[in-house]
């Protein structure tokens, strides 16, 4: 019984239109490169990513959310900089939608923040 209720809920969720309340929902499909260090600019690509749909972009480890600096934004891509203070690790991407009822949506894309490399060496 429990599994059938979950299956029905999943099917209903998949059947929901991508246009809720007159707003087209954003969807990330990839991030290039998939990893970087503090200060690097990464590019998230997908659909409906313009500023009329996406208000902000965050990285989350499931506990803490860190807002990214958006460098450039179009309908199909968002370029963002990994900010100072971000710890190394694997993060999910959250999109904050625009509109009357903004929502944080976890996207099916992950980013790995690498630890800083060794500093310059002197000889």
Domains and CATH numbers, the chain: 21-108 (2.60.40.10)
pLDDT at residue 53 tops 90: yes
CA distance 96 to 80: 14
- C-beta separation of 42 from 31 below 8 A: yes
pLDDT confidence of residue 116: 84
pLDDT at residue 86 tops 70: yes
- C-beta separation of 72 from 78 below 8 A: yes
Residue of 69 and 8 predicted with greater confidence: 69
pTM for this predicted structure: 0.77
CA distance 94 to 49: 12
Residue of 7 and 56 predicted with greater confidence: 56
The pLDDT tens digits for 12-34 are 444 444 444 556 899 999 999 99
pLDDT at residue 4 tops 80: no
pLDDT at residue 5 tops 50: no
Give the angle 111-79-31 at the CA atoms, nearest 5°: 30
The pLDDT tens digits for 87-115 are 999 999 999 999 999 999 999 999 999 99
Mean pLDDT within 30-53? 97
**Residue 93, Ramachandran bin (φ over 0: left; ψ between -120 and 50: alpha; else beta):** beta
pLDDT confidence of residue 22: 56
Looking up tokens 């970087």, which residue turns up? 36
């Amino acid at each position: 019984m429990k599994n059938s209720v979950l299956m029905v809920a999943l099917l209903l969720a998949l059947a929901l239109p991508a246009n809720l309340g007159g707003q087209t929902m954003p969807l990330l499909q990839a991030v290039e490169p998939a990893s970087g260090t503090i200060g690097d600019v990464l590019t998230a690509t997908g659909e409906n990513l313009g500023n009329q749909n996406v208000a902000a972009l965050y990285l989350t480890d499931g506990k803490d959310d860190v807002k990214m600096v958006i460098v450039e934004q179009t309908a199909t891509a968002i370029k963002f900089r990994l900010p100072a203070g971000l710890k190394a690790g694997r993060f999910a991407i959250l999109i904050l939608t625009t509109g009357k009822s903004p929502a944080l949506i976890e996207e099916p894309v992950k980013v790995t923040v690498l630890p800083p490399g060794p500093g310059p060496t002197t000889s």
